[in-house]
Amino acid sequence: MKAVEITQYGAPEVLRLGERADPVAGPGDVLIRVAASGVNRPDVLQRMGNYPVPPGASDIPGLEVAGEIVGGDAQAMAAAGFKPGDRVCALVAGGGYAQLCVAPVGQCLPVPSGLSDVEAASLPETFFTVWSNVFDRGRLQPGESFLVQGGTSGIGVTAIQMARAMGAGLVLATAGSDEKCRACVDLGADHGINYKTQDFAEEAKRLTGGKGVDVILDMVAGSYVDREVKCANEDGRIVIIAVQGGTKSEFNAGLVLRRRITVTGSTLRPRPVAFKAAIAQALRKNVWPLVESGRIKSVIHSTFAAAEAAKAHALMETNQHVGKIVLTW
């Protein structure tokens, strides 16, 4: 099969289309003929040598795919309601940038009706991440306020739409330009905050009437954590899922104590299959109907042929995209 390989750690140009042996599905797995592969920030970090591959995972980058089941564990497939020929999208721990990909059957979801393979390939990584961190770990409840950093990223466009569809009372998003802030509002945010011209913590406090935000999804960390503590509501939850602003943070621990704020975080890739399968079931029950009804949409910024993976990564590094970048096979 053809696959996009990381020939050495470095700039986007180190990505090359090469030949690999076809993967073999093991117990509990399905083999997917990939039509489209989602591109995500962890892929960029892996290419640069900053995101080690979990033990047992493929060294081929790519954490999400969509395509057709062409083989696998027949018993596991039957138990999950799948069969060869079914169109699915799947979260994987690696190997997504390839014509064939093995995925645990529990991490597969049917392609929502009406969606193309490109649209479906944009869903798993961000949907699994947002559900796990905003609704499971962050415990966002109907009527509560929510703030996502980086509202036009793949995670951001998913978080805005999912929070709105699940009944959040006030949805806020930060972005780096007025145009991107307008895009956040178009996706369902009540307000977009331009972090380059506004203090997002002061704006969040103002927009919540001085109370502060109930749940904050943070992909920056670093100096942002201190400001998030300052703009969190009593019993607020700050959930860190990436450290683009650095791994070291100083914040007012006294505020954490007095306002009973929870600062937590997680990474999804190394978690066990059973954990991810439980998220898949929650998505299928709670979110897939919203996708099929059009209340939550796949937001695609650009598609590239798999041979142009380097261009896809270069675009992601500009931070100019709104929504997802997808490779096609």
Q: Which CATH number fits domain 2-123+269-328: 3.30.450.20, 3.40.50.2300, 3.40.50.10140, 3.90.180.10?
A: 3.90.180.10
Q: Over the chain, what is the mean pLDDT? A: 97
Tokens (6 digits) for 86: 């079914």
Contact 30, 105 (CB under 8 A): yes
The matching CATH number, chosen from 3.20.20.70, 1.10.150.110, 3.30.70.1070, 3.40.50.720, for 127-265 is 3.40.50.720
Whole-number Å distance between alpha carbons of 196 and 193: 9
Tokens of 67: 């395509």
- Give, for all 329 residues of the chain, the pLDDT tens digit: 999 999 999 999 999 999 999 999 999 999 999 999 999 999 999 999 999 999 999 999 999 999 999 999 999 999 999 999 999 999 999 999 999 999 999 999 999 999 999 999 999 999 999 999 999 999 999 999 999 999 999 999 999 999 999 999 999 999 999 999 999 999 999 999 999 999 999 999 999 999 999 999 999 999 999 999 999 999 999 999 999 999 999 999 999 999 999 999 999 988 999 999 999 999 999 999 999 999 999 999 999 999 999 999 999 999 889 999 999 99
Helix (H) or strand (E) holding 173: strand 170-175
| Residue 127: per-residue pLDDT | 98
User: Which of 146, 136, 165, 150 shows the shortest CA–CA distance to 236?
Assistant: 146
Q: H or E stretch including 34?
A: strand 29-39
What pLDDT sits at residue 19? 98
- Asked if domains 2-123+269-328 and 127-265 share a fold, the reply is no
Give the whole-angstrom CA distance, residue 174 versus residue 204. Answer: 10
Domain boundaries, the chain: 2-123+269-328, 127-265
Dist CA 266 CA 288 (whole Å): 23
Q: Which residues contact 119 (CB under 8 A, 6 or more apart)?
A: 298, 300
| CA neighbor of 95 nearest in space, from 55, 62, 50, 53 | 62
Interatomic CA distance for residues 328 and 116, integer angstroms: 11
Question: How far apart are alpha carbons 216 and 192 in whole angstroms?
Answer: 14
